[in-house]
Amino acid sequence: MSKLKEWLKLIFSYPKLGVHDFSYDVYWQARGLNSKTSLNSFQKKRANLTLQYLEKNSLVLDVGCGNGALLSYINNIKPMKKLIGIDVSEKALAFAKDNNIETINGDISKFDTLKNLPSADYILMFEVIEHFPNSEDLIRWAVINAKKGVFFSVPNTGFFVHRLRLLFGKFPLQWRVNPSEHLRFWTVKDIRWWLRELGLNSYNLKLYEGIPLLNKIWPSLFGQGIWVFIPTV
């Protein structure tokens, strides 16, 4: 029932536009998140999908690491050699440090930040690339700098509630605090075309969350998130 209410809100309503001077420190504060905030169902499913491909004792770089809870979750199940998180929010990084994550403060939309980041066995970019106009540059950088593979996820704009929202004359709703949060949007067909255009033809793509059972029968319509693994070896 709670999921149904959430989807109805996504179809018919708008969040309160209460933040005009938007920053990710404000975002973390507005959502009431902290170092002890546990993974939600989306984050946990992304982590579990990723654990199927991650090798033990690897160096993992999480771009847009937030409070570091995802890295901690992964490390508790499959111990890693080193965990590094980068984020633009000092507030989020303070939480990540509490979770024993090595942190880097930086704006990944800037080339100087990217070129100075350490290489890693695996690079994670979950719910990150849709926030930047230069998503192509981020993917190319990650593929070059990840020795074993790149993981990323984006919302599925082809999810049925977004299609219905358009039918009722409203743009798909994928923001929580400010409409400027997401700058790029993909359906499953879009992401396959996009990766092909980037010369990335070897990857694993899976849909997750959404409507149980139906997301297995027709994932592009009833799966809420798109998860991708690009092997680089």
Average pLDDT, the chain: 91
At residue 20 the predicted structure's pLDDT band, cuts being 50, 70 and 90, is: low
CA distance 209 to 223: 6
Quick: pLDDT tens for 21-44.
Answer: 667 777 667 667 776 778 999 999
Position 22 scores a pLDDT of 62
Q: How confident is the model at residue 216 (pLDDT cuts 50, 70, 90)?
A: very high
DSSP secondary structure string for all residues of 116-180: TSPPEEEEEEET-GGG-TTHHHHHHHHHHHEEEEEEEEEEBTTSHHHHHHHHTT------SS-GG
How far out from the chain centre does Cα 205 lie?
Answer: 14
Please, what CATH class does the domain formed by 2-231 belong to? alpha beta
Burial 93-117 (b: 16+ CB within 10 A, else e): bebbeebebbbbebebeeeeebeeb
H or E element in which residue 51 lies? helix 41-51
pLDDT at position 112 is 85
* Position with higher pLDDT, 61 vs 113: 61
Which pLDDT belongs to residue 111? Answer: 80
Say yes or no to pLDDT of 19 above 70. no
Strands (E), the chain: 59-63, 82-87, 102-105, 120-126, 146-155, 204-208, 225-231
Predicted local confidence at residue 126, as pLDDT: 98
pLDDT at position 194 is 98
**CA 196 distance to own-chain centroid:** 20
What does the pLDDT average to over 132-154? 96
- Tell me the C-alpha distance between 233 and 28, whole Å: 36
Question: Tens of pLDDT along 179-210?
Answer: 888 999 999 999 999 999 999 999 999 999 99
The pLDDT, as a whole number, for residue 191 is 98
Give the per-residue pLDDT at 31: 67
Q: What confidence tens digit (pLDDT) does each residue in 45-99 have?
A: 999 999 999 999 999 999 999 999 999 999 999 999 999 999 998 888 998 998 8
What CA dihedral angle connects 3, 72, 133 and 156, to 10 degrees?
-30
